[in-house]
Structure 1
Amino acid sequence: MLFVTMEQRGLIKMKKILAILLILPIIMGLFGCSNQNNSVSKEEKMTIKNPHTIYIRESYSDKIKAVFSSTTSKETEEVNLKRIKSSDDYNTYSCTGDYKKYDRVMFIGDDTDKSMVLVFNKYISGYHLEAGSSEGNIGIPFVYDEKEENAKYETVSLKYNKDKEKNIFIYTPNGYDKNDKNKKYSVIYMCDGQNLFDKLSTDKGCWNVAESVNSMMKNSDNNCIVVGIDNGDGNRDNELTPNIGEIREDQKSLGDFENGTGKEFSDFVVNTVMKYINKNYNTYTDKEHTAVCGSSSGGLEAFYIGMEHSDKFSSIGALSPAFLLFNENTWNKYLKNLDFKGNYPLLYMYNGDGDELESMLLTDTKNMIKYLENINYPKDKIIFKEYKKACHNEHFWRSIFPEFLYYTFNK
Structure 2
Amino acid sequence: MSLQIKFKNSLSKRVVRLMQFICRNHGVHYQDVDVMPQRMNYQGESYALTFREPKPQHPHLVGDIRLHRQFYSRYLEFERDIIVYLPPSYKTQPHRRYPVLYMHDGNNAMDPRTSFAGVTWEVNDTVERLVKEGLMDEIIVVGIYNTPARMYEYTWTQMVIDGPHPQGGHGKKYARFLVKELKAFVDRSYRTLADRSNTAIMGSSLGGLINFY
TM bin, normalised by shorter chain, reads 0.5 to 0.7
Contact 2:153 2:168 in 1 (8 A): no
- Identify the match of residue 74 of structure 2 among 153, 156, 161: 161
1:282 correspondence with 2:191: yes
The 1-side partners of 2:105 and 2:65 are apart by 15
CA shift at 1:222, angstroms? Answer: 1.0
Structure 1 residue aligned with 2:153:
239
- Identify the match of residue 173 of structure 2 among 247, 264, 270: 264
- Identify the match of residue 291 of structure 1 among 189, 200, 210: 200
- Identify the match of residue 150 of structure 1 among 61, 81, 102: 61
Taking CA–CA contacts closer than 8 Å with sequence separation of 6 or more, which of the two structures ends up with the larger relative contact order? 2
CA shift at 1:242, angstroms? Answer: 1.1
Structure 2 residue aligned with 1:188:
101
Contact 1:241 1:257 in 2 (8 A): no
The 2-side partners of 1:180 and 1:173 are apart by 12
CA shift at 1:230, angstroms? Answer: 1.1
CA shift at 1:278, angstroms? Answer: 0.9
CA shift at 1:178, angstroms? Answer: 8.0
1:224 correspondence with 2:139: yes
The 2-side partners of 1:263 and 1:167 are apart by 20
Structure 2, gaps ≥5 residues long: 1-59
What secondary structure sits across from 2:117 in the alignment? coil
Distance change (3 Å), C-alpha of 1:187 and 1:257: farther
What secondary structure sits across from 1:260 in the alignment? coil
The 1-side partners of 2:124 and 2:176 are apart by 26
Distance change (3 Å), C-alpha of 1:275 and 1:257: farther
The 1-side partners of 2:122 and 2:78 are apart by 28
Structure 2 residue aligned with 1:207:
121
The 1-side partners of 2:166 and 2:131 are apart by 38
Distance change (3 Å), C-alpha of 1:189 and 1:258: same
How big is the alpha-carbon RMSD for the aligned residues of Structure 1 and Structure 2?
Answer: 2.4
Contact 1:154 1:170 in 2 (8 A): yes
What secondary structure sits across from 1:176 in the alignment? coil
Structure 2 residue aligned with 1:337:
none
TM-score (norm 2): 0.62
What secondary structure sits across from 1:194 in the alignment? helix
Distance change (3 Å), C-alpha of 1:240 and 1:266: same
Contact 2:78 2:149 in 1 (8 A): no
The 1-side partners of 2:179 and 2:90 are apart by 24
Q: How does 1:328-367 map to 2 (within 5 A)?
A: none
The 1-side partners of 2:94 and 2:194 are apart by 16
Distance change (3 Å), C-alpha of 1:285 and 1:204: same
Contact 1:188 1:226 in 2 (8 A): yes
Q: How does 1:310-325 map to 2 (within 5 A)?
A: none
The 1-side partners of 2:92 and 2:149 are apart by 34
Q: Structure 1 vs Structure 2: percent identity of aligned residues?
A: 30
TM-score (norm 1): 0.33
CA shift at 1:165, angstroms? Answer: 2.5
